[in-house]
Amino acid sequence: MDSIGLLSSVLCKHWFHPPVVAIWTDGATLSAWSEVEVALAAAQAELGLIPADAAATIARRLEGVKLDPQRLAADIAHTMHPFVPVLHQLEELCGEPAAAYLHWGATTQNIFDTGAALQLKRSHALLLESIDQALAALATLARDHRDTPQAGRTHGQHALPITFGFKVAAWHAEMRRHRERLVSASHGAFIASMGGAVGAFAAMAGRGREVQALVAQRLGLESNELPVRCAYDHTAAYVSALAMMGSTVEKIAGEVFTLQRSEIAEVEEGFHRGKVGSSTMAQKRNPGLVMNLTGLSRLLRSRVPIALEAIVRHDEGDGASNNICDVTLPETVICAVSLAHGLARLAEGLVVDPAAMSRNLGRSGGLIVSEAVMMALAPHIGRHHAHKVLYDVAQDTAEGGGSFATRLRDHSLVQPLLDRLDIDVLLDPARYVGEAPDCVDDELAR
Amino acid sequence: MDSIGLLSSVLCKHWFHPPVVAIWTDGATLSAWSEVEVALAAAQAELGLIPADAAATIARRLEGVKLDPQRLAADIAHTMHPFVPVLHQLEELCGEPAAAYLHWGATTQNIFDTGAALQLKRSHALLLESIDQALAALATLARDHRDTPQAGRTHGQHALPITFGFKVAAWHAEMRRHRERLVSASHGAFIASMGGAVGAFAAMAGRGREVQALVAQRLGLESNELPVRCAYDHTAAYVSALAMMGSTVEKIAGEVFTLQRSEIAEVEEGFHRGKVGSSTMAQKRNPGLVMNLTGLSRLLRSRVPIALEAIVRHDEGDGASNNICDVTLPETVICAVSLAHGLARLAEGLVVDPAAMSRNLGRSGGLIVSEAVMMALAPHIGRHHAHKVLYDVAQDTAEGGGSFATRLRDHSLVQPLLDRLDIDVLLDPARYVGEAPDCVDDELAR
Amino acid sequence: MDSIGLLSSVLCKHWFHPPVVAIWTDGATLSAWSEVEVALAAAQAELGLIPADAAATIARRLEGVKLDPQRLAADIAHTMHPFVPVLHQLEELCGEPAAAYLHWGATTQNIFDTGAALQLKRSHALLLESIDQALAALATLARDHRDTPQAGRTHGQHALPITFGFKVAAWHAEMRRHRERLVSASHGAFIASMGGAVGAFAAMAGRGREVQALVAQRLGLESNELPVRCAYDHTAAYVSALAMMGSTVEKIAGEVFTLQRSEIAEVEEGFHRGKVGSSTMAQKRNPGLVMNLTGLSRLLRSRVPIALEAIVRHDEGDGASNNICDVTLPETVICAVSLAHGLARLAEGLVVDPAAMSRNLGRSGGLIVSEAVMMALAPHIGRHHAHKVLYDVAQDTAEGGGSFATRLRDHSLVQPLLDRLDIDVLLDPARYVGEAPDCVDDELAR
Amino acid sequence: MDSIGLLSSVLCKHWFHPPVVAIWTDGATLSAWSEVEVALAAAQAELGLIPADAAATIARRLEGVKLDPQRLAADIAHTMHPFVPVLHQLEELCGEPAAAYLHWGATTQNIFDTGAALQLKRSHALLLESIDQALAALATLARDHRDTPQAGRTHGQHALPITFGFKVAAWHAEMRRHRERLVSASHGAFIASMGGAVGAFAAMAGRGREVQALVAQRLGLESNELPVRCAYDHTAAYVSALAMMGSTVEKIAGEVFTLQRSEIAEVEEGFHRGKVGSSTMAQKRNPGLVMNLTGLSRLLRSRVPIALEAIVRHDEGDGASNNICDVTLPETVICAVSLAHGLARLAEGLVVDPAAMSRNLGRSGGLIVSEAVMMALAPHIGRHHAHKVLYDVAQDTAEGGGSFATRLRDHSLVQPLLDRLDIDVLLDPARYVGEAPDCVDDELAR
């Protein structure tokens, strides 16, 4: 078992959504590179820069290309170059004279960047698919629980009531915004770059920009507006957008983690017989998917500083940055798609317990709606004085125990107003959810 | 001298662009909060939720508000709350009965977030101004040096010729893209939030969404589509865009640093008599602004993980995240604007030495244009074989010394072609700048 | 109110422990620099490199030095040098001829680094004091609750019982180890550096290493073993140790946050009348200190990448790294000391509710001690089969409801063993705390 | 070619030192876990907690264990548990009745953490070996170039002369300190943890601490002083020390990168025929190893925030943190050892060109030793006035051109002293290397 590493180890490779993994294997990467070489030759043939025959042979021979991995590994180590050994095998496959026209006027990083753009574009489609699946599941949850009262909490303490649908609608809104940002960041991020060694198309006989435009067109990419190799803002912006989406998934996972706590128990991630929580504590029903998503998001987020720092490049080309970007991008994208897909599964499988929500909401004996009382007092004694009243009564209750309602009624500023205030109604949390249900409707209508 | 900290110490406060600093002082922050309270009262009066008189008094009394900083500091420490002591002073300023209607239905974080949005919007205008100034200076440099040949370098080694204008055009393009991203990220980032304690408008008598829309309108902000306090994606996206722009400034600064090195000396950042490089080495002309920008960018970038992690919030409100976002955002924005402004100054003052560029370009005796020879050989012997020829001759020259041109002419595969190749022309770097000048034109036309 | 920034704003400056802030104000920094110049002159006089009179005058005139901050700020901005304007004011204070011997053979960064070492050393003493205070408070808590049963939780779910003292003992152990690491990291971190411009003592007449040793001795520092200005490992290691300690404080704070949640309510951070949780929810008793410590730790941790990256310096001196290290170090140290001090306050004020712990422990009807039953079954049917039995019964209970004990007794593999197992005893969580109390004793004995 | 990921892809797996990779493959990890289970059974048998026969069978059957990877991957995905499926295969291998005593009283994370400690310890030995090899090579370089003059640079500008040996001695010193820190951090980091589910040894019949001590002894590890699963400071401290060492390797690599720049060309990393710089620029001799080390260091450093944040854990166990630590630790350690090993290769292969150093040193016509002249003038006119003289002359030279020496001699304050100063001697950079050679001797003697 020589398997090793985040994406390869049998211990963790199930964390990742298989279709996106398949886009980034070595085999798929080499295929993407071949597609780029084929498109380059075709474009150059079209413009008369290389013979049409050569381009045709290249296209035919590189279709479904398979290379010798052992030899490749050895040659890459020896040449200390990640592409020249690939190129040599491709030349052999093409044979003479076509081999002579392969990689014409290009440099390694052109092939790498354009190939990665192809892979990114394919991953992006999967990403949107998973986000849409998650949005649909969240929308269903929000709709179903539009009116399910639940304790709203701030800083770990009961704050005011909400509805569970309101909470989920906010998750939906955040994921929807990430989707918009990702689509926006994708523009200009999936680009064909054929500028050659320093980006100035030196070896393209003055027709480099045309060549690049044709390559882009053939591959379904945009043409890099100025293909210097020392620009990374396009990809960094996309990576940042991925990580921000991942952070929202982590937030939602964290909320489920909290709400699933033994003492709260308002929701539970999907469970199936056979899912094991512990090798020694048989009763455990852990939020395993939740923890997995939490971890993946942190892994993803830890890659952002690499991408941002990689904007800071030396010279017309900077191998140190290229190297680490080339190896970090796949795992970044794979984490992101797996996060979106995992959120869909989490939302689809979530078990919600409205009774537990109701039970928790009632625990504080009305303290959770102290604001309702304050706002009812405010027109009579002023908002600021009302806050003081509630503060005193609530803190007395917290310290001295007893009934909040009784202590309220006994307060000298409240007593005179009792005929105008129905304390019992004010202290019913289920009546004080504000515009939560309307907010759900608004969000679902967006 | 009790001054302390990045933005306050006399040792470093000159790093920052004064107009943006002025937007984020305590005084300016308290003013922004007051503006929000005033707008809230006005909106509520307009909808009949509070008396019109109260709103008018609030507006009048809070105009140009000045608070007692000593008392504020003491009260904040005692209450362990950053706003209630402010509110108390505002209530005193308003007097009875208007004080009773201040902060009606709102929660602290509404005021903070909406106030910060006001400050962000003002900073954003300064940012675009500085970016535009930088873009203009870069455009001038690019135009002036459209045809100035310079060694293109990759991995620290001479690669192929470019023109200096081409290099600068790529900087321009990158900054232009950042400008677009920043404008895009600003949509939805400068928002009014009046959802109250948990975002569901509980204390707004069912008209919270209307109140918020009016507040937004009065303040020139967008209305938060779902004002939960646990969403931070809006601001995080904006902060990420700031940091990416900063990274590009750092890249450009790094390029100047390298090109100003004593042995390269192709450019120099502006110098004035009185600028001191060292307390002991009087000859020093350091790239001081360059280093300053480099440092600021790293400071800025180090704040991104905070913003991204702050997307991951607990509950309906999370004070730990709020706290650190509230103190990190000002320094982040200030760094960003100062970076853009610094880049403008750097570009405007840059001294360029075309003669040095030309001298360096000639150092390698033609090795820098080995690709030109390869491409000239390619139609005769194939690109792949031509690469092998050049590799052998170039490495022999590197190891054995002597003239690259002579060794080339002596190579068995080159010799037969000498009547069809003009080696001297091929080895003239100034002739091999590809489409660099055209790329400059394209960029300047965008 | 021009105050601004993390350490200066009236809105947040109360977060920080005043004694450590006092060490890093501009005034204190300038004093530290003066102390270094005085020590340098004294050392050089002792070795005969400069006149003894000059050294004496320098010492006398720079005692309790006060500089003109306005002029300093203006001159630093103009010269773009952070020290030369200071030096000029110091020279004026010394007067002729002593001024001629100030800063002899030194470079700016020598003064800065050695001055910062003095400040670091002073902060370190405060740090150890606060850690010791925290350790004492934690030890008391651990001792007092050595035998207080509490639900142990993993992944948010009830796992096995512990005692609260056991939990606190683990916090104590972790803080104790950080103390050891900090002491270890302090060796070699508080050093005098007098190597001059490039670290080779060029202007010290061949006696630089002796000068440096004397300076170190006078200032109570270690002598830098090889005073190149491009080494930062000493300080980075110390900063890392600070941030790790801060992370443990954040962990403890996070535990209190969870245990203080409304539904768990086993502990509460200290509360005093006057502490306000919300401007609108008067009942709120928020873990304000906890959130403050959480935020400070994240701020601190976000500075670690700066310090680590600052190890990677260009050349014999790298101003960009120096700049940001010089401004980041103070806030880093101040956060760290404030975290340690805050932990002491948190532990000292913590209110513990053993009854709530007991109540929560009993919630699961014995599921929390499924392992106890498994281990009792194991000698009879094998650990692996026992795990299967418990898994089935526990999951049936979770899904079907009813009594875990009854379902257990009814299981076909358990029934035959009932005369040898006392299920009631096995299901009593308070009996199954393992060696938790012994671990407390062990830790308190360390 | 399904290979994928940093450690598995054929495109980059040659970056890593094979012996350390071999320690962390899935096979090696499963072996380590088996070793731990064997040691646990043996310890328990020794104390009479399980039958001696069972322990003997377990030891025999788990020797050189091989598991079914396909089945493992499927079962891990289904159970969502990373160890229970492994345990089931181990139980099958042991057979009845021994299987009944496997994993007695332990929990999954005990096995994982103790297994990882074994792997860490083995990696640590390789690490020290590579560091020692690097130190030896650096010592040789420092000794050989003890007296080779070279331009010292600060902020990219010529500063003062040093010797190349001095520069290398500082690298040596820094790596030596890292070695000390790593050894120090290794104490307490390679520990056996057998505390069971929540760390309190609940299922060890009161003898858990003894069991753990025996396990530790058998495995050559330290016994965890308080084996809670929510402590990660031990490992985080070790990871931080690794990353700091890596940063120094990156610094050294960066220095070589700069010194190898085409215009400086004072050193070159080892080159061999067959090493390829570019697919299109045949002349390229890139610092490939240097860039590789630079990239690896950044990858390593990007993992530090994960480790530091992982100190902040929830509850008695926190699966999200465990998950990401378990997958991040291997790549972290592998990067670190590969960095140390790469530094050894870099230092051993480094080609140094003293003639180029001398040439560059002379470029400035003496400006590089302006300090020498200043210090010579200082006794006559005061250090501060001398600085002013040198500033004026140097800046005049920089702007007006001409000879620095001539301008110096012509200055009104210098002219009168010309009989007491030998300007030519003062302006000879090779004479002004200070105590650089002595510092080399000191370092080599440490």
Tell me the pLDDT tens digit for each residue of D58-83: 999 999 889 998 999 999 999 999 99
The predicted model gives C227-243 an average pLDDT of 97
Dihedral-angle region of residue B105 (phi above 0 means left; psi in -120 to 50 means alpha; beta otherwise): left
pLDDT at C108 over 90: yes
Nearest CA-CA distance, residue D203 and chain B, Å: 35
C-alpha pair distances (Å), D48 with each of A226, C373, D53, D55, D210: 75, 20, 11, 11, 12
What CA–CA distance (Å, rounded) separates B131 from B177? Answer: 11
Q: What is the pLDDT of residue D65?
A: 87
Q: What is the pLDDT of residue D334?
A: 98
Among residues B3, B8, B9, B278, which one is catalytic?
Answer: B278
- Inter-chain contact A250–B169, Cβ cutoff 8 Å? no
Residues in contact with D267: Cβ distance below 8 Å, sequence separation at least 6, in sequence order: D256, D259, D260, D350, D351, D352, D353
Confidence label for D263 from pLDDT (cuts 50, 70 and 90):
very high
Contact status, residue B315 vs residue A154, Cβ threshold 8 Å? yes
Residue numbers in A near B87 (CB within 8 A): 384
B194 is written with which tokens? 């009046």
- Inter-chain contact B277–D153, Cβ cutoff 8 Å? no
Question: Model pTM greater than 0.90?
Answer: yes
Q: What is the pLDDT of residue A136?
A: 98
Residue numbers in A near B188 (CB within 8 A): 177
pLDDT at C389 over 90: yes
C244 is written with which tokens? 């790790």
Mutate to test the interface with B, among C323, C325, C329, C335 (most CBs of B within 10 A): C323
Q: What is the mean pLDDT of chain B?
A: 96
The predicted model gives A189-201 an average pLDDT of 98
pLDDT tens digits, B174-186: 999 999 999 999 9
Task: Determine the residue of chain B that is closest to C11 in CA distance.
Answer: B82
* β-pair type (D191-192, A222-223): unpaired
- Inter-chain contact C80–B275, Cβ cutoff 8 Å? yes
The beta-carbon neighbor of B281 closest among D278, D363, D370 is D370
Confidence label for A348 from pLDDT (cuts 50, 70 and 90):
very high
Residue numbers in A near B186 (CB within 8 A): none
pLDDT at C357 over 90: yes
Q: What is the pLDDT of residue B382?
A: 94
pLDDT tens digits, D176-202: 999 999 999 999 999 999 999 999 999
Contact status, residue D371 vs residue B281, Cβ threshold 8 Å? yes
What CA–CA distance (Å, rounded) separates D295 from A144? Answer: 50
What CA–CA distance (Å, rounded) separates A315 from A310? Answer: 13
Q: What one-character-per-residue DSSP string does D345-368 give?
A: HHHHH-EE-HHHHHHHHHTTTTGG
What CA–CA distance (Å, rounded) separates B375 from B380? Answer: 9
Residue numbers in C near B108 (CB within 8 A): 278-280
The predicted model gives B1-23 an average pLDDT of 95
Among residues B155, B262, B272, B412, which one is catalytic?
Answer: B155
pLDDT tens digits, B245-255: 999 999 999 99
Residues in contact with A255: Cβ distance below 8 Å, sequence separation at least 6, in sequence order: A167, A171, B314, B315
Q: Can you tell me the ipTM of this complex? A: 0.96
pLDDT at D56 over 90: yes
The beta-carbon neighbor of D395 closest among B273, B387, B395 is B273
Confidence label for B1 from pLDDT (cuts 50, 70 and 90):
confident
Contact status, residue D398 vs residue B285, Cβ threshold 8 Å? yes
Nearest CA-CA distance, residue C163 and chain D, Å: 9
Catalytic: A278? yes
A15 is written with which tokens? 């964390």
Among C263, B82, C155, CA closest to A157 = C263
Confidence label for A65 from pLDDT (cuts 50, 70 and 90):
confident
The predicted model gives B220-246 an average pLDDT of 97
- Inter-chain contact C395–A151, Cβ cutoff 8 Å? no
Confidence label for B209 from pLDDT (cuts 50, 70 and 90):
very high
Q: What is the pLDDT of residue A29?
A: 97
pLDDT tens digits, A261-318: 999 999 999 999 999 999 999 999 999 999 999 999 999 999 999 999 999 999 999 9
What CA–CA distance (Å, rounded) separates B190 from B186? Answer: 7
The beta-carbon neighbor of C432 closest among D101, D159, D202 is D202
Angle of CA points B391, B393, B396, to nearest 5°: 100
Q: Please report where in the chains the tokens 């920043």 appear, as a residue.
A: B182
Residue numbers in A near D81 (CB within 8 A): 275-279, 288
C-alpha pair distances (Å), D307 with each of C244, D19, D226: 9, 24, 20
D95 is written with which tokens? 């057979």
Q: What is the mean pLDDT of chain C?
A: 96
Residue numbers in D near A321 (CB within 8 A): 295
pLDDT tens digits, A303-324: 999 999 999 999 999 999 999 9
Nearest CA-CA distance, residue C105 and chain D, Å: 8
- Inter-chain contact D263–B264, Cβ cutoff 8 Å? yes
Task: Determine the residue of chain B that is closest to A317 in CA distance.
Answer: B154
Angle between helices B108-144 and B233-259 (to 10 degrees): 30
- Say what percent of chain C tops pLDDT 70: 100
- Inter-chain contact D286–A319, Cβ cutoff 8 Å? yes
- Say what percent of chain A tops pLDDT 70: 100
Give the amino acid at D257: F
The beta-carbon neighbor of D375 closest among C203, C244, C382 is C203
- Inter-chain contact B282–D371, Cβ cutoff 8 Å? yes
Catalytic: B364? no
pLDDT at A1 over 90: no
Which residues of D are annotated as catalytic? 155, 278
pLDDT tens digits, D384-415: 999 999 999 999 999 999 999 999 999 999 99
Q: What is the pLDDT of residue C65?
A: 87
The predicted model gives C203-216 an average pLDDT of 98
Under DSSP, the state recorded for A82 is S
- Inter-chain contact B200–A154, Cβ cutoff 8 Å? no
Among A287, A280, A282, A332, CA closest to A310 = A332
The predicted model gives C33-55 an average pLDDT of 98
Among A185, A183, A206, CA closest to A196 = A206
pLDDT tens digits, D157-178: 999 999 999 999 999 999 999 9
Confidence label for B415 from pLDDT (cuts 50, 70 and 90):
very high
The predicted model gives D347-356 an average pLDDT of 98
The predicted model gives A28-54 an average pLDDT of 98
Contact status, residue C278 vs residue B197, Cβ threshold 8 Å? yes
Q: What is the mean pLDDT of chain A?
A: 96
What number of C-beta contacts closer than 8 Å exist between B and D? 149
Q: What is the pLDDT of residue B440?
A: 98
Nearest CA-CA distance, residue C197 and chain D, Å: 7
Q: What is the 3-state secondary structure (H, E, C) of chain C?
A: CCCCCCCCCCCCHHHCCHHHHHHCCHHHHHHHHHHHHHHHHHHHHHCCCCCHHHHHHHHHHCCCCCCCHHHHHHHHHHHCCCCHHHHHHHHHHHCCCHHHHCCCCCCHHHHHHHHHHHHHHHHHHHHHHHHHHHHHHHHHHHHHCCCCEEEEEECCEEEEEEEHHHHHHHHHHHHHHHHHHHHHHHCCCCEECCCCCCCCCCCCCCCHHHHHHHHHHHHCCEECCCCCCCCCHHHHHHHHHHHHHHHHHHHHHHHHHHHCCCCCCCEECCCCECECCCCCCCCCCCCHHHHHHHHHHHHHHHCHHHHHHCCCCCCCECHHHHHHHHHHHHHHHHHHHHHHHHHHHHHHHCEECHHHHHHHHHCCCCHHHHHHHHHHHHHHHCHHHHHHHHHHHHHHHHHHCCCHHHHHHHCCCCHHHCCCCCHHHHCCHHHCCCCHHHHHHHHHHC
Q: What one-character-per-residue DSSP string does A231-256 give?
A: --HHHHHHHHHHHHHHHHHHHHHHHH
- Inter-chain contact A442–B162, Cβ cutoff 8 Å? no
pLDDT tens digits, B333-370: 999 999 999 999 999 999 999 999 999 999 999 999 99
Residues in contact with B335: Cβ distance below 8 Å, sequence separation at least 6, in sequence order: B16, B242, B246, B296, B297, B299, B300, B303
Mutate to test the interface with A, among B58, B187, B198, B335 (most CBs of A within 10 A): B198
What CA–CA distance (Å, rounded) separates C152 from C432? Answer: 11
pLDDT at D1 over 90: no
C291 is written with which tokens? 């959130």
pLDDT at B156 over 90: yes
Nearest CA-CA distance, residue A8 and chain D, Å: 7
What's the farthest any 2 CA atoms get from each other in chain A? 102
